[in-house]
Structure 1
Amino acid sequence: MPSRFLLTLTAAALFPLLAHAADQQRLPSEEGELTIDTVAEGLRQPWALAFLPGGKDMLVTERPGNLRIVSADGRVGPAISGVPKVWYEGQGGLLDVVLSPSFPKDRTVYLSFAEVGEDGKAGTAVGRGQLSQDRARLENFNVIFRQTPKLSEGNHFGSRLVFDREGYLFIALGENNQRPTAQDLDKLQGKVVRVLPDGEVPKDNPFVGQKGVKPEIWSFGHRNPQGAALNPWTDQVWINEHGPRGGDEINIPEAGKNYGWPIATHGIDYSMAPIPEAKGKHVDGMEDPHHVWEKSPGISGMAFYDNPTFKKAWDHNLFIGALATEELIRLQLEGDNVVHEERMLGELKARIRDVRVGPDGYLYVLTDAKDGALLKVGLGAQ
C-alpha cells in the first residue's frame, strides 16, 4: 500500500505556510482550502489516465510502455498485456488513453503511442483493443491510425485523444519538431485529425476529395498539442499546445482552419532568435489563439469542470497541467472566454502531465517523473 499524506495548498505563493502536524500543511486558496491526497506513487513517467465504469478504478499509461489499473485506494496493478510495442525515446512512448463511448458494451480501449519506422524516425499511432473481463490484457489490439510520414527524432508527438458527442475521434498531432510541416496538407504533422472509431475517414471532413491533401485533416497549423478535452457546454473540442519559447495556446479547432504555426506565433526560438518562418503574432487568413500565454507554462493535460461536488467554486472552470512551471492552472470561463487565471500546486514542485475530473468530482492529477504520482485534489470547507 503506498504511503498517503494530505496537503492543503494554495495556488498563489503569497502567504507563508502555516504550522500544522507533520503530515499536513495548510494555505488558503482563492476558492477555499485545497486538499491533496497521494493516491498512488511509484508510477514510471505516467502520461494519461481514464476512469473505468464505476469510478473507482483508472487506467494509467506509463511512457516506457506499460498500461496499469490503479484503484481509488491506491493499489497499482501489474502491467496489462497486449499493449503495443512503443518507441520510448525522447518524448515518445505510450501516451494517451481513452475509453470507447460504448465501453460498457464493447470494452474497447484506445491508446496513442510513438511508433518507429524502418529509417529510425517515428510518428504517432493510435490503436484499440478490448479489455479482457479479468482486466489483465488487451485483446485483438490493432492500429487504426498512423501519422505519415514518420519524421520525429524524439520530439513533438502531440497525441491527445477526444471523442465528441457524435462519436468521432479527434487526434491532436505534433509537428515532430519539423516546423514547416504544420502547413503541409500532404502530411499529418501539426494537425488535428478526425476519424471514425475504426479509423476510417468521415465523408464530411473538410479536405475529403482534394488532390494531394490528407483527408483525415480537420485543422492544421498546430505545433505540439498536449491537452485536449470536450467542452461539455458547447460540445466543441478544445486543445492546448506548446509554443516554442513563449506562445503556449488554447485553440478551438474548426473544420479546415489554419492555426498559424510556424507563420503566426507569439513565441521565439529556444535560442532566443526569431522563428525563421514567422511573420508576426497575427497573420491574415490564420486563426488567432483563443487564449495565449506570452510566457510558456509548458501546458499539458486539460479538463473542464462540470460536476456538482465543487460546483460553487469550480463550475465552468478549465484545469490545465503545466510542466515547465510545475503547476496546475485554473481558468475561470464566462461562455468561451477566459476571465480569470489561478496557479495551483506550485509548492509541490512537480511537473503536472495530466488532469481529469473524477466521477466523485475531485481532480485527479498525474505528475511527470521517473517516480510519478497520482494525486487527488479537492476543496475543504467552502
Structure 2
Amino acid sequence: MNHPMRDLSLRACSLAAAALLAACGDSGKNDTEASSGASTGGSGSATEPGPTTTDPATTDPATTDTPTSNGPTSGPTSDPTTDATTVDPTATTTDPTTDTTTGAPVCPYTPVDGMPSIALELIANGFDRPVLTLPHPKQPDRLFIVEQGGHIKILEPGETTAPPDADDFLYVKVKGENNTDIGSEQGLLGFAFHPDFPDDPRVYINYQSQPGDGRTLVDEYKLDANNPDKVDPNSRRLVYSVGQPAGNHNGGMILFDSTGMLMIGMGDGGGSNGQFGTSRDPKSPLAKILRIDVEPDGKADSNTACGSCPMVDGFDFTVPPDNPHVGDNAYAPEVWASGVRNPWRFSIDPATDTMYIADVGQGTYEEVSIGKAGADFGWNIMEGNNCFKGAPCDTSAPVNGVNKDGMTAPITEYSHNDNGRCSITGAFVYHSCEVPAWDGVYFYSDYCSAEVFALKWDGNAVAEMGVVVDTGGEPIIGSGYTGYGDVIINTVVVDGMNTLQDGKIYRVVPGA
C-alpha cells in the first residue's frame, strides 16, 4: 500500500503478520522499491498486498485467532446471528430493521453506558484478503465484502463464513489474484454503491486488471435485471483510468461524497522517494485525491500519469464544475487534493462531512489528515509533518494547519520506531447506538503491529485515545462499517509459507 500496500520493504515488521501484507512501509519503506514495470512492484523488491514495508521472508508467521483489548479483556465472542435482526434479502419494499418513520436502522443492541473498554468481535472468516466491508444501503444486516483477489461476496444475516465464489455479487479478473503472491499491492481495491442505490442500480469498483498493463481502472456495473444479488457482467462501463509506472502505491479507495461526486484515492505510482515525480506534478492524477462526476460527458477522455506510464484512453466522466482547480491549466481538472503517497483507506463521516485520509508513509511516519479541497499534504517533500530525507521544509504548522509552503499538516502521525509499526490502515467514524459515548470517534490501525488506534477530532483539536485494542498478531488489511454504524476491522492470517489466508471480519464492540 505500501500499505496498503506499501512498498514491501527489505526490512521486516516485528510482527509476523506484518511482513505479509504489505502493510509495512517501503523497504520499510526503504529506497529499494522498483522503478519500473507496471505489472509488478518493480525489480529487486516485493510490494505489499495491502500496505507494505516488510520482507515476508523474515517475519514470524505465528499469529493468534483471538484479538485482545486494551484494558479489561472481552468475553467469549458472541454469536453473530444474535447481533442483528434477520431480514429477507429478497424484500424490496419494507425492511423490519428500518424505522418506518425516520428511515434509520432500528438499533439491534442494548446500549452500554459510559466509556467501556474496546474489544473486537469476530463476525465471519474464510475470506481472501478482505480490503473493504460495506452494508447494503437499504438492508443494514447484509454486508458486502470486497476481496483483493477480485471477488465481492454478500455476507447474509446469520452467516459466519465466506460464501462460495459461485454466489459472488461481482467478480473481475485482477492482477494480484493469486493468494500466494504476497508482494502484490494490486487487485480489487475499492467498491462503492451509487448514492441512489438500489433505485439507481449502479455500483463502482477500483482495480488493476489482468491481463493488462497494470493500470488502475474505475468501472461501473449495473445490477442483473433478474437477480438483485448479482451484477450484470455485460453492463461494464469504463469511467476512469490511470496508467501506473510500477505495481505498488495504487491507493484504491473510492466513495461518494455528500454531493454525489466520486472520490478516488490515487497513490504516487510506486517506487521509493516519489521517484516518478507524480506527487509534485499537478497535471498527474497520481499522488492525488480525485473527484469526478460518474455521469459521462460524451467525450472520450485520455491521460498518462507520467512519462513511463502507458497511455490510457476511452474512459468517460464529467469534471465537477466546483472542483478547486477547474480553469487552471496547470492542473488536471479532476484533482481535488494533492501530495499523498498512498491513501490506502480514507472515509467520510456522514455526520460532519469530514474526510479522514490515512496515508501510508515511506520509511518513518504514518499519518491521518483531514481532506480539504485544494489541499497539498506535502509528499514527497514531507512525510507526515516532518521533512522527508532532509528536504528543506517548514514543520511549524499546527495540527491541520498550513505551513509557509502551503502544505497541510496531519491531525496525527506515528513513527515506525514504535512497536514495529509500518503501514497505516484507515477505518471509519463510529456511529453505532451500542456505545453512545463513542459516537464520532475515528478508528485506524497499523498493518504490521496489528494495533487499532482511536481519536476524536472536533474540527479544531484532536483528542488522542492511543492504542485501544489489537488483533493478537493478525495483520490489518482493511476496514469498513455496518448499516448500524459499527466500525469493522478486516484482518488476514499468515501461514508458515508466508501465504495470506483466512481473512476475518471483526466488529468494534464494548469489552467485558
TM-score when normalising by structure 1: 0.83
Structure 2 partner of 1:3: none
1:341 positional shift: 2.0
| 8 Å CA contact 1:227, 1:301 repeated in 2 | yes
- Contact map agreement 2:427 2:487 (CA 8 A) in 1: no
- Does the CA contact (< 8 Å) of 2:221 and 2:231 recur in 1? no
In 2 relative to 1, CA 90–207 (structure 1 residues): closer, same or farther, beyond 3 Å? same
Of 424, 430, 449 in structure 2, the residue corresponding to residue 299 of structure 1 is 424
Which residue number corresponds to residue 43 of structure 1? 127
User: 10, 26, 43: which is aligned to 2:69?
Assistant: 10
Q: Distance in 2 between matches of 1:8 and 1:186?
A: 44
Aligned partner of 2:264 among 143, 163, 171: 171
Mapped pair 1:84 → 2:154: no
CA contact (8 A) 2:326 2:333 kept: yes
Indicate which of 275, 286, 294 corresponds to 2:389. Answer: 275
CA RMSD of superposed structures (Å): 3.1
What are the residue-to-residue correspondences of 1:85-164 with 2, within 5 Å?
Answer: 85-88=173-176, 90-115=184-209, 120=213, 122-132=214-224, 133-139=227-233, 140-147=235-242, 149-152=243-246, 154-164=247-257
Amino acid of the residue matched to residue 131 of structure 1? L
Q: In the TM superposition, what is the alpha-carbon distance from 1:35 to its structure 2 partner?
A: 4.6
Distance of 2:186 and 2:115 partners within structure 1: 37
Secondary structure at the residue paired with 1:275? helix
Contact kept in structure 2, 1:262 and 1:275, CA below 8 Å: no
Question: Residues 248 and 287 from structure 1, CA distance in 2 versus in 1: closer, same or farther, beyond 3 angstroms?
Answer: same
> Alpha carbons of 1:303 and 1:216: their partners in 2 closer, same or farther (altered >3 Å)?
same
Report deviation, 1:23: 10
Contact 1:356–1:363 (CA<8 Å) still a contact in 2? yes
Partner of residue 488 from structure 2, selected from 346, 349, 364: 364
Change in CA separation of 1:136 and 1:357 when aligned onto 2, cut-off 3 Å: closer
Instruction: Quote the residue 2:151 is aligned against.
Output: 66
Inter-partner Cα distance in structure 2 for 1:236 and 1:357: 16
Which residue pairs with 2:449 in the alignment?
325
> Match for 1:172: what amino acid?
G
**Partner in structure 2 of residue 221 of structure 1:** 339
Q: Does 1:377 align with 2:462?
A: no
Matched-pair contact (CA < 8 Å) for 1:160–1:172: yes
- TM-score, normalised to structure 2, is 0.63
Q: Which has the higher strand share?
A: 1
Shift of residue 210 of structure 1?
2.9
Change (3 A) 1:8 1:348: closer
Aligned to 2:470: 346
Partners of 2:383 and 2:161 lie apart in 1 by 44
Query: What residue ranges of structure 1 are gaps of 5+ in the alignment?
Result: 1-5, 25-29
Q: Corresponding residue for 2:313?
A: none
Measure how far apart 1:260 and its partner are: 0.9
Task: Give yes or no for the alignment of 1:184 onto 2:243.
Answer: no
Given that 2:218 and 2:238 are in contact with CA atoms closer than 8 Å, whether structure 1 keeps it comes out as yes
Q: 2:384 touches 2:410 (CA, 8 Å); kept in 1?
A: no
Give ranges in structure 2 of 5+ residues lacking alignment: 1-64, 80-113, 177-182, 296-316, 397-402, 493-499
Aligned twin of 1:196? 293
Please give the alpha-carbon distance, in whole angstroms, between the structure 2 residues aligned to 1:116 and 1:203. Answer: 34
Instruction: Choose between structure 1 and 2 for higher RCO, CA contacts under 8 A separated by at least 6 residues.
Output: 2
Identity of aligned residues (%): 22
| TM-aligned CA distance change 1:286 to 1:124, over 3 Å | farther
Q: Name the amino acid aligned to 1:275.
A: K
Deviation, 1:91, is 0.5
Distance in 2, Cα, partners of 1:137 & 1:193: 25
State how far apart, in whole Å, the 1-side matches of 2:229 and 2:414 are: 44
Q: Is the 8 A contact 2:375 2:408 kept in 1?
A: no
SS in 1 for 2:278: helix
